[in-house]
Amino acid sequence: MAVIGYMRVSTHYQKFDSQQQALKDYGVDIIFKEYESGRKCFRNELNKALTTLESGDTFVIFKLDRLARGTKQLLGLLEEFDRRNIHFVSIENNIDTSTPMGRFFFTIMGAFAEMEAELIRERVLAGLSAAKKNGVILGRPPLVNQVNEALELYHNTTMSTEDISKRCGIATSTIYHHLRKAGVYRTKKNADLSASDKVLVRSGENK
Protein backbone atom coordinates (compact mmCIF):
# COMPACT_ATOMS: atom_id res chain seq x y z
CA MET A 1 0.00 0.00 0.00
CA ALA A 2 1.51 3.28 -1.17
CA VAL A 3 1.82 6.58 0.68
CA ILE A 4 1.31 9.44 -1.79
CA GLY A 5 2.30 12.99 -0.90
CA TYR A 6 1.03 16.21 -2.45
CA MET A 7 2.35 19.73 -1.96
CA ARG A 8 1.36 23.01 -3.54
CA VAL A 9 2.47 26.62 -3.77
CA SER A 10 0.68 29.38 -5.68
CA THR A 11 3.67 30.77 -7.64
CA HIS A 12 7.12 29.71 -8.78
CA TYR A 13 8.63 32.27 -6.38
CA GLN A 14 7.46 30.29 -3.36
CA LYS A 15 9.40 27.37 -1.90
CA PHE A 16 8.38 23.82 -1.03
CA ASP A 17 10.97 23.49 1.76
CA SER A 18 8.77 23.05 4.86
CA GLN A 19 6.15 20.96 3.03
CA GLN A 20 8.72 18.71 1.42
CA GLN A 21 10.62 18.07 4.66
CA ALA A 22 7.41 17.21 6.51
CA LEU A 23 6.30 14.79 3.81
CA LYS A 24 9.70 13.08 3.72
CA ASP A 25 9.73 12.77 7.52
CA TYR A 26 6.30 11.15 7.32
CA GLY A 27 7.70 8.58 4.90
CA VAL A 28 5.84 9.18 1.64
CA ASP A 29 6.74 7.05 -1.37
CA ILE A 30 5.91 9.59 -4.09
CA ILE A 31 5.53 13.38 -3.94
CA PHE A 32 3.53 15.42 -6.46
CA LYS A 33 4.50 19.11 -6.70
CA GLU A 34 2.08 21.76 -7.90
CA TYR A 35 2.48 25.46 -8.77
CA GLU A 36 -1.15 26.53 -8.85
CA SER A 37 -3.84 28.45 -6.98
CA GLY A 38 -5.69 26.44 -4.36
CA ARG A 39 -8.98 27.93 -5.56
CA LYS A 40 -8.81 25.96 -8.80
CA CYS A 41 -10.81 22.75 -8.61
CA PHE A 42 -8.87 21.08 -11.41
CA ARG A 43 -5.10 20.96 -10.98
CA ASN A 44 -2.88 18.78 -13.14
CA GLU A 45 -0.59 17.40 -10.42
CA LEU A 46 -3.42 16.88 -7.97
CA ASN A 47 -5.33 15.00 -10.65
CA LYS A 48 -2.27 12.81 -11.29
CA ALA A 49 -1.96 12.10 -7.55
CA LEU A 50 -5.65 11.19 -7.25
CA THR A 51 -5.37 8.92 -10.30
CA THR A 52 -2.35 7.15 -8.79
CA LEU A 53 -4.13 6.35 -5.53
CA GLU A 54 -5.59 2.87 -5.05
CA SER A 55 -7.77 1.34 -2.35
CA GLY A 56 -5.85 1.14 0.95
CA ASP A 57 -3.32 3.84 -0.01
CA THR A 58 -2.67 6.94 2.09
CA PHE A 59 -2.78 10.50 0.74
CA VAL A 60 -0.64 12.96 2.74
CA ILE A 61 -0.50 16.75 2.69
CA PHE A 62 1.26 19.30 4.89
CA LYS A 63 -1.79 21.49 5.70
CA LEU A 64 -5.43 21.56 4.64
CA ASP A 65 -5.02 24.80 2.69
CA ARG A 66 -2.50 23.04 0.43
CA LEU A 67 -5.32 20.80 -0.79
CA ALA A 68 -8.31 23.15 -0.95
CA ARG A 69 -9.35 26.71 -0.07
CA GLY A 70 -13.07 26.12 0.41
CA THR A 71 -15.09 23.80 2.63
CA LYS A 72 -17.14 22.45 -0.26
CA GLN A 73 -14.08 21.54 -2.33
CA LEU A 74 -12.32 19.95 0.63
CA LEU A 75 -15.37 17.92 1.63
CA GLY A 76 -15.77 16.69 -1.95
CA LEU A 77 -12.21 15.34 -1.91
CA LEU A 78 -12.66 13.76 1.53
CA GLU A 79 -15.84 12.06 0.34
CA GLU A 80 -13.95 10.70 -2.66
CA PHE A 81 -11.22 9.32 -0.37
CA ASP A 82 -13.84 7.68 1.86
CA ARG A 83 -15.63 6.15 -1.15
CA ARG A 84 -12.36 4.78 -2.56
CA ASN A 85 -11.09 3.53 0.83
CA ILE A 86 -8.12 5.91 0.83
CA HIS A 87 -6.70 7.21 4.10
CA PHE A 88 -6.18 10.95 4.36
CA VAL A 89 -3.51 12.66 6.46
CA SER A 90 -2.91 16.36 7.08
CA ILE A 91 0.30 16.62 9.10
CA GLU A 92 0.04 20.13 10.56
CA ASN A 93 -3.67 19.73 11.37
CA ASN A 94 -3.16 16.35 13.09
CA ILE A 95 -5.80 14.71 10.90
CA ASP A 96 -5.65 11.03 10.02
CA THR A 97 -8.88 9.43 8.75
CA SER A 98 -7.60 5.96 9.62
CA THR A 99 -8.15 6.89 13.31
CA PRO A 100 -11.42 7.49 15.22
CA MET A 101 -10.56 11.20 15.65
CA GLY A 102 -9.88 11.48 11.93
CA ARG A 103 -13.26 9.99 11.07
CA PHE A 104 -14.86 12.36 13.59
CA PHE A 105 -13.26 15.27 11.75
CA PHE A 106 -14.78 14.00 8.51
CA THR A 107 -18.24 14.01 10.13
CA ILE A 108 -17.75 17.54 11.46
CA MET A 109 -16.64 18.76 8.05
CA GLY A 110 -19.81 17.32 6.51
CA ALA A 111 -21.95 19.09 9.12
CA PHE A 112 -20.25 22.43 8.44
CA ALA A 113 -20.71 22.04 4.69
CA GLU A 114 -24.41 21.22 5.17
CA MET A 115 -24.84 24.26 7.43
CA GLU A 116 -23.07 26.47 4.89
CA ALA A 117 -25.40 25.29 2.12
CA GLU A 118 -28.46 25.93 4.31
CA LEU A 119 -27.28 29.45 5.18
CA ILE A 120 -26.78 30.24 1.50
CA ARG A 121 -30.29 28.94 0.75
CA GLU A 122 -31.78 31.10 3.51
CA ARG A 123 -29.99 34.21 2.20
CA VAL A 124 -31.25 33.56 -1.32
CA LEU A 125 -34.84 33.12 -0.14
CA ALA A 126 -34.61 36.28 2.00
CA GLY A 127 -33.28 38.21 -0.99
CA LEU A 128 -36.08 36.96 -3.24
CA SER A 129 -38.69 37.86 -0.62
CA ALA A 130 -37.28 41.38 -0.23
CA ALA A 131 -37.15 41.87 -3.99
CA LYS A 132 -40.76 40.74 -4.36
CA LYS A 133 -41.89 43.19 -1.66
CA ASN A 134 -40.09 45.98 -3.53
CA GLY A 135 -42.03 45.20 -6.70
CA VAL A 136 -39.24 43.42 -8.56
CA ILE A 137 -40.61 40.92 -11.08
CA LEU A 138 -38.91 37.58 -10.48
CA GLY A 139 -38.27 34.79 -12.92
CA ARG A 140 -37.44 34.82 -16.61
CA PRO A 141 -38.43 38.00 -18.51
CA PRO A 142 -41.37 37.62 -20.91
CA LEU A 143 -40.40 36.89 -24.52
CA VAL A 144 -42.44 39.80 -25.86
CA ASN A 145 -40.28 40.61 -28.89
CA GLN A 146 -39.81 36.97 -29.91
CA VAL A 147 -43.52 36.24 -29.55
CA ASN A 148 -44.54 39.29 -31.59
CA GLU A 149 -42.09 38.38 -34.35
CA ALA A 150 -43.32 34.78 -34.35
CA LEU A 151 -46.97 35.81 -34.64
CA GLU A 152 -46.16 38.21 -37.47
CA LEU A 153 -44.33 35.47 -39.37
CA TYR A 154 -47.18 33.08 -38.69
CA HIS A 155 -49.79 35.43 -40.16
CA ASN A 156 -47.79 36.86 -43.06
CA THR A 157 -45.59 34.04 -44.35
CA THR A 158 -45.89 30.39 -45.30
CA MET A 159 -43.17 29.34 -42.88
CA SER A 160 -43.96 26.27 -40.81
CA THR A 161 -44.39 26.66 -37.09
CA GLU A 162 -41.19 24.66 -36.56
CA ASP A 163 -39.19 27.05 -38.76
CA ILE A 164 -40.70 30.06 -37.00
CA SER A 165 -39.76 28.49 -33.68
CA LYS A 166 -36.12 28.09 -34.74
CA ARG A 167 -35.91 31.57 -36.21
CA CYS A 168 -37.42 33.34 -33.19
CA GLY A 169 -35.79 31.16 -30.55
CA ILE A 170 -38.99 30.12 -28.80
CA ALA A 171 -40.77 26.78 -28.47
CA THR A 172 -43.58 25.81 -30.83
CA SER A 173 -45.77 25.24 -27.76
CA THR A 174 -45.24 28.91 -26.85
CA ILE A 175 -46.35 30.00 -30.30
CA TYR A 176 -49.48 27.83 -30.15
CA HIS A 177 -50.21 29.10 -26.65
CA HIS A 178 -50.25 32.75 -27.81
CA LEU A 179 -52.26 31.87 -30.91
CA ARG A 180 -54.89 30.20 -28.77
CA LYS A 181 -54.97 33.25 -26.50
CA ALA A 182 -55.75 35.34 -29.60
CA GLY A 183 -58.38 32.80 -30.73
CA VAL A 184 -56.44 32.02 -33.94
CA TYR A 185 -55.91 28.54 -35.33
CA ARG A 186 -54.34 27.11 -38.47
CA THR A 187 -55.85 23.90 -39.77
CA LYS A 188 -53.67 21.18 -41.22
CA LYS A 189 -55.26 21.65 -44.61
CA ASN A 190 -54.43 25.35 -44.64
CA ALA A 191 -50.92 25.05 -43.20
CA ASP A 192 -49.24 25.02 -46.61
CA LEU A 193 -51.24 27.76 -48.32
CA SER A 194 -49.51 30.87 -49.61
CA ALA A 195 -49.58 34.01 -47.47
CA SER A 196 -52.26 35.61 -49.67
CA ASP A 197 -54.49 32.51 -49.54
CA LYS A 198 -53.92 31.65 -45.90
CA VAL A 199 -57.10 31.01 -44.04
CA LEU A 200 -57.30 32.12 -40.44
CA VAL A 201 -59.99 30.35 -38.57
CA ARG A 202 -61.03 32.24 -35.45
CA SER A 203 -62.65 30.35 -32.65
CA GLY A 204 -66.41 30.35 -33.05
CA GLU A 205 -66.41 31.46 -36.70
CA ASN A 206 -66.71 27.96 -38.17
CA LYS A 207 -69.16 26.57 -35.65
Catalytic residue among 10, 37, 129, 160: 10
Asked whether residue 49 falls in the same domain as residue 105, the answer is yes
Q: Is residue 124 part of a domain?
A: no
Tens digit of each residue's pLDDT (9 = 90 or more) over 80-93: 898 999 999 999 98
Asked whether residue 60 falls in the same domain as residue 156, the answer is no
Tens digit of each residue's pLDDT (9 = 90 or more) over 12-64: 888 899 999 999 999 999 999 999 887 777 789 999 999 999 999 999 999 98
Q: Give yes or no: 10 in active site.
A: yes
Asked whether residue 103 falls in the same domain as residue 157, the answer is no
Asked whether residue 103 falls in the same domain as residue 158, the answer is no
Residue 69's contacts (CB-CB under 8 Å, 6 or more residues apart) are 38, 39
Tens digit of each residue's pLDDT (9 = 90 or more) over 176-200: 888 888 777 654 434 444 444 444 4
Asked whether residue 81 falls in the same domain as residue 165, the answer is no
Q: What is the span of the domain harbouring residue 184?
A: 144-198
Residue 36's contacts (CB-CB under 8 Å, 6 or more residues apart) are 8, 10, 43, 44, 45
Q: Is residue 162 part of a domain?
A: yes
Asked whether residue 51 falls in the same domain as residue 104, the answer is yes
**Measured CA distances, 9 to 13, 58, 73 (Å):** 9, 21, 17
Q: Is residue 73 part of a domain?
A: yes
> Residues 154, 175: contact at Cβ < 8 Å?
yes
> Residues 66, 7: contact at Cβ < 8 Å?
yes
Asked whether residue 19 falls in the same domain as residue 95, the answer is yes
Mean pLDDT confidence for 136-154: 76
User: What's the structural domain count of the chain?
Assistant: 2
